[in-house]
Amino acid sequence: MSEGGWAGAVHAAFTQPGEHWCHNPPAFERAHSAAPLVSSGPGAATPTMNMPSTALLNIAPQNSSSLTLSGINGYSIHGDRVIISTSEISNHRHADNLSGSLSLELWALDRPYFGGDFDGVALAGVQIGRVQGQHLLVNNQYDLPFTAPGAGTWTLTLMLREWEGQGFVTRDQVQFAQPYVVERKAAAAVQAQADNVITVNFAAAEPPVDRRLSLNEASRAEIAAIKGVSKKLAEAIVAARPFASTADLLAVKGMGPKLLEKIRTLVRL
């Protein structure tokens, strides 16, 4: 352990209950938990870290990575904002090590994640800098813009990712057992004025013309014309293509989850 012991950074405590809250137990709880536990209402077990009275506890898998998320990890969604909480972000490497730039990202995946490549929707993210070996950040809470995924049943996953010079690599992840469900909007009811009969229009619409810009085919100038994309980032995108999935764009330096969501409706592969 380095001189001065373990260091940490403390962020503002969460004090109000959210519209949607999930969290995972710390490591010492995992050894004693046999199944998920829901606690709510008067007399129920009270989670730590001043959490709302309703919470879902998951058993998170142990991870042998030298960069880890540990303790209680959770999220609380409030409209277009989300509060992401994690007890500890740790660097277990030697004391003379300095990690690459770290990114904490909340993703919606269409299936459970077991490592390796993935594709999904980036909901929120924050760059948290670099962490010295044998040090950790504690009691971390981030109030971030939230982009909801489309209709479907999603597995929400909190990922700790490290920049390695060519892109971000996932070092640890916490998968939340409670599915995040977005309902599909119902067909609009139309009232005929002549006979006052309520009808529902299920007629198939004309297939829309895809006017999104292809990042695998567009020129550097066309990509740089996208609002929010600099000429330098456009050059990096051209140099890194072709892309197999939208998640691959996050490996391009300068492209973060927030910007990717901002341009997602304007581009395609």
Whether 150 and 53 map to the same domain: the answer is yes
Whether 45 and 141 map to the same domain: the answer is yes
Number of domains in the chain: 2
Give the Cβ contact number of residue 16 at 10 Å. Answer: 9
Residue 106 to residue 9: CA distance in whole angstroms: 20
* Beta-ladder partners of 142: 84
The contacts of residue 174 (CB under 8 Å, 6+ apart) are: 24, 60, 69, 73, 86, 157, 158
The identity of residue 170, as a single letter, is T
Confirm whether 65 is domain-assigned. yes
Whether 92 and 43 map to the same domain: the answer is yes
Residue 69 to residue 58: CA distance in whole angstroms: 14
Whether 102 and 149 map to the same domain: the answer is yes
Confirm whether 203 is domain-assigned. no
Confirm whether 260 is domain-assigned. yes
Q: pLDDT digits over 107-141, tens only?
A: 999 988 888 888 899 999 999 999 999 999 999 99
Residue 39 to residue 47: CA distance in whole angstroms: 8
Task: Tell me the three-class secondary structure of the chain, residue by residue.
Answer: CCCCCCCCCCCCCCCCCCCEEEEECCHHHHCCCCCCEEECCCCCCCCCCCCCCCEEECCCCCCCCCEEEEEEEEEEEECCEEEEEEEEEEECCCCCCECCCEEEEEEEECCCCCCCCCCEEEEEEEEEECCECCEEEEEEEEEEECCCCCCEEEEEEEEEEEECCCCEEEEEEEECCCCEEECCCCCCEEECCCCCCEEECCCCCCCCCCCCEECCCCCHHHHHCCCCCCHHHHHHHHHHCCCCCHHHHHHCCCCCHHHHHHHHHHEEC
Confirm whether 15 is domain-assigned. no
Whether 26 and 139 map to the same domain: the answer is yes
Confirm whether 255 is domain-assigned. yes
Confirm whether 201 is domain-assigned. no
Whether 53 and 175 map to the same domain: the answer is yes
Q: What is the pLDDT of residue 76?
A: 93
Q: In which domain, by residue range, is 50 found?
A: 20-182
Q: Which of 182, 197, 226 is the last residue of a domain?
A: 182
Whether 123 and 50 map to the same domain: the answer is yes
Question: 90, 98, 96, 94: which is closest to 6 by C-alpha?
Answer: 90
Whether 32 and 128 map to the same domain: the answer is yes
CATH of the domain at 260: 1.10.150.320
Question: 66, 1, 58: which is closest to 27 by C-alpha?
Answer: 58
Question: 52, 50, 41: which is closest to 17 by C-alpha?
Answer: 52
One digit per residue, the tens of pLDDT, for the chain of length 269 reads: 322 222 222 222 222 333 444 554 433 333 222 222 222 233 333 333 333 322 333 333 445 579 999 999 999 999 999 999 999 999 999 999 999 999 999 999 998 888 888 889 999 999 999 999 999 999 999 999 999 999 999 999 999 999 998 889 999 999 999 999 999 876 655 554 555 555 555 555 566 666 777 888 888 888 888 888 888 888 888 888 887 777 778 888 888 888 888 887 787 77
Whether 242 and 161 map to the same domain: the answer is no
Q: What is the pTM of this model?
A: 0.52
Q: What is the pLDDT of residue 104?
A: 96
Sign of torsion, CA 145 143 248 179?
negative
Q: What is the pLDDT of residue 62?
A: 43
Residue 68 to residue 50: CA distance in whole angstroms: 23
Whether 63 and 126 map to the same domain: the answer is yes
Whether 112 and 242 map to the same domain: the answer is no
Confirm whether 58 is domain-assigned. yes
Residue 28 to residue 17: CA distance in whole angstroms: 25
Q: Which of 182, 198, 224 is the last residue of a domain?
A: 182
Whether 132 and 238 map to the same domain: the answer is no
Q: What is the pLDDT of residue 163?
A: 94
